[in-house]
């Protein structure tokens, strides 16, 4: 693989080069991981200037419809938009549907938009290890807005919030998320909250939900000087309120300021460093020859009840340490 030629293609904005580069950083092959590091070193000086927005929400909230509406609005405003849509991988087969381009048909045809569905590959919160590196590829290719869609389950919101500038949480009218979301901590990490599907007969319910959420958040942030997440309503289906949502994203960046944004990204890089260390240790453990030699025996012993899981784990670590 000619890494220099691939880097030049990405910097020139060639879509085929962008796709190959992201495939490379997603790969788990040892030679690909080495090439990916070399590629990212060449691209890193040209990245870091995009607006990074994470988007999550409750099931059925319409994340894909919202991202398409937001993406087309931004393209019409003169932006170049990259979308990283992480699909959940099947626990049983390891496969993913990867249907985001189908759900974002209009945005997918725009010359200034690029949509990349990626399997979560079972990583924590459904966010692939390579998502941050894929962001670097898109930014180096000249995309000035990067939208990261999470699968919206478990810890994925926290994971995505740790890699973007602004975290946008979508919810629905009267779903009970006003208090449950705060209990789970999701609303506490959100920077902008939007009640989607505020159209037709549901518009008044959406407004009431937004009012309830805003009141709950005022209690959460009472007595602090922190950014208080605005609670908005929109209709992604009818493309209403999308401009207001984006204006609040920009306002949040202004609140952070240049130094605040720089500090936030620096902390994210530190956290990402440790994430890469954990990922590499996991990779080495799974591919270690000594571990492979005892894996089948330990599996059978645990399944048959002859060996406790704790003892089996110790045996695996002993094999790796040897």
- For 167, which DSSP code? E
**pLDDT for the residue 274:** 86
Residue ranges with strand state E in the chain: 51-57, 81-87, 113-119, 145-149, 166-171, 192-195, 231-233
**pLDDT for the residue 29:** 84
Find out whether 58 and 66 touch, Cβ atoms under 8 Å: no
Report DSSP letters for 43-74, one per residue.
HGGG-S-SEEEEEEESTTS-HHHHHHHHHHHH
**pLDDT for the residue 173:** 84
- Round to whole Å and give the CA distance between 63 and 145: 17
**pLDDT for the residue 93:** 37
79-137 pLDDT, tens digit each: 999 999 876 544 343 444 444 555 688 898 999 999 998 765 555 433 556 788 999 99
pTM of the model: 0.86
Find out whether 80 and 144 touch, Cβ atoms under 8 Å: yes
**pLDDT for the residue 137:** 96
The segments of the chain whose pLDDT lies below 70 read 87-103, 119-129, 151-156, 174-185
Region at 233 (left for phi over 0; alpha for psi -120 to 50; beta for the rest): beta
- The structural domains of the chain, ordered by start, are 1-46 (1.20.5.170), 48-256 (3.40.50.300), 288-321 (no CATH)
Find out whether 157 and 182 touch, Cβ atoms under 8 Å: no
3-class secondary structure, 216: helix
- For 175, which DSSP code? S
Find out whether 196 and 161 touch, Cβ atoms under 8 Å: no
């Amino acid at each position: 693989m000619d890494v220099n030629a691939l880097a030049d293609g990405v910097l020139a904005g060639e879509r085929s080069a962008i796709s190959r580069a992201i495939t490379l950083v997603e790969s788990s092959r040892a030679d690909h991981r080495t090439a990916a590091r070399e590629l990212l070193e060449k691209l890193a000086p040209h990245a870091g200037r995009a607006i990074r927005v994470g988007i999550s929400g409750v099931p059925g909230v319409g994340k894909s419809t919202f991202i398409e509406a937001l993406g087309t609005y931004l393209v019409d405003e003169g932006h170049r938009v990259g979308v990283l849509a992480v699909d959940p991988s099947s626990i049983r087969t390891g496969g993913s549907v990867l249907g985001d381009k189908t759900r974002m048909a209009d945005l997918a045809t725009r010359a200034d938009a690029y949509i990349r569905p990626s399997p979560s590959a079972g990583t924590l919160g459904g966010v692939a290890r390579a998502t941050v590196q894929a962001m670097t590829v898109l930014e180096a290719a000249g995309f000035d807005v990067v939208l990261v869609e999470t699968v919206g389950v478990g810890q994925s919101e926290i994971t995505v919030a740790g890699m973007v500038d602004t975290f946008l949480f979508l919810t629905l009218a009267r779903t009970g998320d006003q208090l449950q979301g705060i209990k789970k901590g999701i609303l506490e990490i959100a920077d902008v909250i939007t009640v989607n599907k505020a159209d037709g007969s549901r518009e008044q319910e959406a407004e009431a939900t937004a009012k309830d959420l805003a009141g709950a958040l005022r209690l959460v942030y009472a007595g602090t000087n922190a950014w208080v997440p605005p609670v908005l309503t929109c209709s992604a289906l009818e493309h209403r309120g999308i401009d207001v949502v984006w204006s609040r994203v920009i306002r949040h960046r202004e609140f952070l300021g240049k130094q605040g944004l720089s500090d936030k990204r620096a902390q994210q890089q530190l956290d990402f460093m440790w994430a890469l260390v954990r990922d590499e240790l996991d990779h080495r453990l799974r591919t270690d020859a000594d571990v492979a030699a005892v894996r089948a025996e330990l599996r059978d012993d645990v399944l048959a009840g002859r060996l406790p899981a704790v003892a089996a784990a110790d045996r695996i670590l002993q094999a790796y340490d040897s």
